[in-house]
């Protein structure tokens, strides 16, 4: 997956402010932290009034071409029967069809999925939208495979998300793909949000899970564990390093994450081991590189977590 560089926010009439502001703030925070991003705000007209009443002005024209490996974000608008059939939205659809290529990613936030559907981008694809609109999406675009109750869905270079804050979740996922899990964690912490996963995602991504708290000490402990997975770690060592009692550390860690320190460490090591296994490494090598004492320990943790034998 190529690194993000240019992000185009496609703004249509009656746009929902949060569907724009959520991903925008997320990518802006990533940019402020060093990710090389250029944000563009585009529309067929210079001024667009949001559904909430605020007017966005000085918007850029729809460009004749866009940068390779760009990301186009279609911000959701207020839903009504016949959404995106107005003339301005039709211009957006025609533009999207004219510039799209396989190396350009397109993200439909909430009802933005309907615009993607009108552009033919959901044909034979898996997708989602706001939970109140999944039935309409399936009805209007019968060749689409609409999944209800999903935070977001990726089908090749086409992404769709549920409503409002799900756009933030998807933006964080794209930042993780581009700059790594730890960078995405830092962005999420600044926004005081956690990164959620797709409900059907089989991966064990724990690097950004269990961060739905605002305890600085526990975040520091999690960061330390993440960067020292191959070390022999103990609660005693951690309590000494962070100058708190073992009892206090264990209690605060469990309150913040819902896991014990030991169980959280196993979750992290499982994900790292899985990544090495996916790259073709042996079980023994994957176990060692993830910080497990031996292959048997990895097999035991794998079976306990996934209820299946590691082969």
Of 194, 196, 122, the closest CA to residue 160 belongs to 122
Q: What angle do CA 98, 40, 62 make, to 5 degrees?
A: 35
pLDDT attached to residue 114: 97
pLDDT attached to residue 69: 85
pLDDT attached to residue 209: 64
Would you tell me the crossing angle of helices 166-179 and 181-191 to the nearest 10 degrees?
150
Q: Which pLDDT tens digits describe the chain residue by residue (311 residues)?
A: 467 889 999 999 999 999 999 999 999 999 999 999 999 999 999 999 999 999 999 999 999 999 888 999 999 999 999 999 999 999 999 999 999 988 899 999 999 999 999 999 999 999 999 988 999 999 999 999 999 878 889 999 999 998 778 888 889 889 988 888 778 888 988 887 754 444 344 333 455 668 777 788 998 999 899 889 999 999 999 999 999 999 999 999 999 999 999 999 999 999 888 878 877 889 999 999 999 999 999 999 999 887 788 87
Q: Give the tokens for residue 5.
A: 């560089």
Q: Are 131 and 176 in contact (CB under 8 A)?
A: no
Q: Which residue has the tokens 């910080």?
A: 291
Instruction: Report the half-sphere exposure of 267 (CA within 13 A, side-chain side).
Output: 17
Chosen CATH of 6-191 out of 3.40.1080.10, 3.40.50.880, 3.40.50.970, 3.90.1300.10: 3.40.50.880
Question: In terms of C-beta density within 10 A (0-12 exposed, 13-18 middle, 19 or more buried), how is residue 130 classed?
Answer: buried
Residue spans in the chain of domains classed CATH 3.40.50.880: 6-191
Would you tell me the crossing angle of helices 166-179 and 17-32 to the nearest 10 degrees?
30
Fold of 216-306: Arc Repressor Mutant, subunit A (1.10.10)
Residue spans in the chain of domains classed CATH 1.10.10.60: 216-306
What is d(CA 154, CA 186) in angstroms, rounded to the nearest whole number? 23
Q: Are 125 and 116 in contact (CB under 8 A)?
A: no
- Helix extents (H) in 181-260: 181-191, 216-227, 235-241, 246-257
Of 210, 160, 206, the closest CA to residue 189 belongs to 210
pLDDT attached to residue 178: 87
pTM: 0.70
Of 117, 118, 121, 89, the closest CA to residue 104 belongs to 121
- Main-chain phi, psi angles of 282, to 5 degrees: -70, 165
Of 263, 288, 293, the closest CA to residue 276 belongs to 288
């Amino acid at each position: 997956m190529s690194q993000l560089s240019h992000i185009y926010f496609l703004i249509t009439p009656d746009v929902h402010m949060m569907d724009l502001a959520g991903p925008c703030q997320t990518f802006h925070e990533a940019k402020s932290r060093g990710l090389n991003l250029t944000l563009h705000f585009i529309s067929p007209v210079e001024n667009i009034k949001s559904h909430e009443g605020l007017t966005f002005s000085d918007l850029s024209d729809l460009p004749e071409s866009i940068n390779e490996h760009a990301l186009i974000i279609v911000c959701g608008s207020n839903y009504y029967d016949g959404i995106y059939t107005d003339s301005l939205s039709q211009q957006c659809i025609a533009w999207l069809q004219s510039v799209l290529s396989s190396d350009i990613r397109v993200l439909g936030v909430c009802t933005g999925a309907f615009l993607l559907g009108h552009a033919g981008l959901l044909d034979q694809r898996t997708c989602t939208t706001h939970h109140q609109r999944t039935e309409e999406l399936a009805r209007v675009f019968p060749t689409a495979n609409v999944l209800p109750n999903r935070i977001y869905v990726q089908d090749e270079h086409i992404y769709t998300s549920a409503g409002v804050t799900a756009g933030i979740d998807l933006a964080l996922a794209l930042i993780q793909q581009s700059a790594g899990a730890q960078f995405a964690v830092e962005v999420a912490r600044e926004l005081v949000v956690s990164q959620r996963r797709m409900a059907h995602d089989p991966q064990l991504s724990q690097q950004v899970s269990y961060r739905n708290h605002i305890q600085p000490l526990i975040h520091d402990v999690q960061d330390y564990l993440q960067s020292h997975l191959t070390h022999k770690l103990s609660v005693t060592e951690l309590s000494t390093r962070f100058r708190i009692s073992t009892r206090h550390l264990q209690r605060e860690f469990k309150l913040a994450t819902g896991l014990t320190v030991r169980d959280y460490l196993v979750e992290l090591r499982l994900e790292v081991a899985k990544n090495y296994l996916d790259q073709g490494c042996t079980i023994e090598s994957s176990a060692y590189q993830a910080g497990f004492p031996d292959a048997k320990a990895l097999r035991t943790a794998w079976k306990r977590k996934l209820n299946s034998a590691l082969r």
